[in-house]
């Protein structure tokens, strides 16, 4: 039940944004074995004045940088997370063509009791 928030600079075409959704979903299916149609994702676009980044950690980022925050149940292993990071970079490189340097991913672990996916607190 991953929940994804994707942030990027405004101006990319709809097909580019759709390719991000598709690649992220495929990466989660491959690395985390998420169920079919488990797709809960948003994209927020920001103008240049409201989207900031630097070259910290020796990474030469560009204006094509994409921030991806993934909130998941706290049951994912370190190996699954590493596989997910690699698969995301690989698939976003293939489509829509984002450089690995421009893929910034953060995973937030959350216990199941902190989730309600409809009809009240069904995981609590």
Q: Does the annotation mark 2 as catalytic?
A: yes
- DSSP-assigned states of every residue in 61-107: --TT-EEEEEEEETT--HHHHHHHHHHHHHHHHHTT---GGGEEEEE
What is the predicted pLDDT for the residue at 120? 83
What is the predicted pLDDT for the residue at 124? 63
For the chain, give every domain's residue range.
3-114
What is the predicted pLDDT for the residue at 1? 82
Q: Per the omega criterion (within 30 degrees of 0), is the bond before 96 cis?
A: yes
What is the predicted pLDDT for the residue at 54? 94
Contact 80, 32 (CB under 8 A): yes
pTM of the predicted model as reported, rounded to 2 decimal places: 0.94
Domain over 3-114 is classified CATH 3.30.429.10: yes
Query: Would you give the DSSP letter of residue 8?
Result: E
Q: Which of 2, 13, 35, 111 is catalytic?
A: 2
User: Please, what are the averages of pLDDT over each run of 10 residues along the chain (124 residues)?
Assistant: 96 98 98 95 98 95 98 95 98 98 97 86 69
């Amino acid at each position: 039940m991953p929940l994804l928030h994707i942030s990027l600079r405004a101006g990319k075409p709809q097909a580019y944004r759709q390719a991000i959704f598709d690649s992220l979903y495929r990466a989660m299916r491959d690395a985390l074995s998420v169920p079919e149609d488990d797709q809960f994702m948003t994209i927020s676009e920001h103008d240049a004045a409201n989207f900031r980044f630097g070259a910290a950690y020796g990474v030469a980022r560009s204006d094509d940088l994409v921030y991806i925050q993934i909130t998941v149940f706290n049951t994912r292993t370190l190996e699954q997370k590493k596989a997910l990071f690699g698969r995301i970079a690989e698939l976003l490189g293939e489509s829509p063509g984002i450089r690995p340097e421009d893929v910034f991913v953060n995973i937030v672990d959350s216990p199941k009791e902190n989730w309600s996916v409809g009809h009240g607190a069904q995981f609590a």
